[in-house]
A = this chain, B = another copy of it.
Amino acid sequence: MRTTDHDHLPARGKAPMTDVAEADSPACTYELVRSVLDRVGDKWTVVIVCELGNGPRRFNELRRLASPITQRMLTVTLRGLERDGLVSRTVHPTVPPQVEYALTGVGRTLLTIVRDLADWTEANLDHIRTARAGYDRVQG
C-alpha cells in the first residue's frame, strides 16, 4: 500500500524525511528545534494536546472540544501524535465502537512545554500587540 502518494490522508506532510539529526553539531540544533515545531506548530496539535491534558477523550468528544475542527484534521492530527508516541489510541471492541485517546508520559511533558509557551505569550502579549500596531501604523 501507500505507493501512490495521493491526497486522502496526507500522510503527515510535516517533517517528511527530515529525520531528526544528532543533537550537538553546530547548526543542526535548528533542525532539531524545527522538528518539534513541525510537530507542535500546526493548527490543531496544541489544542488537542491541551484538551487531552485534562484526561482521556474519545473521538467525537475531542471533536466537540476542539470546536471548529473537521473530522479529517482531527484524524490527521491524532495520527501524527500517535505516530510520535505522544498520544495513545485504545479501541474498545464494543458496538458501537469506542476509541479513547490519551496523552502518554512523553506527551505529558510536551504539555508542560506548551504551557511554558502560553506563559511567555501571556507575559509578552501586550508588548507584541503594541509593537504590531505601531509598525502597522507607520508601514502600510
Which residues of A are in contact with B by a Cβ distance under 8 Å? 1-2, 19-20, 23, 27, 29-30, 32-37, 39-43, 46-47, 50, 67, 82-86, 106, 109-110, 113-114, 116-118, 120-125, 127-132, 134-136, 140
Contacts and interface: CB of A to CB of B under 8 A. Distances in A.
A2 B136 CA distance: 11
Contacts of A130: 85
Contacts of A106: 124, 127-128
Contacts of A116: 113, 116
A66 to B, nearest CB: 8
Nearest to A35: B121
A67 B122 CA distance: 33
A109 B120 contact: yes
A37 B40 CA distance: 8
A83 B131 contact: yes
Given A37-B41, A110-B124, A117-B117, 12 more contacts: A20-B125, A29-B50, A29-B118, A30-B47, A33-B46, A34-B46, A35-B125, A37-B40, A84-B132, A110-B120, A113-B120, A116-B116
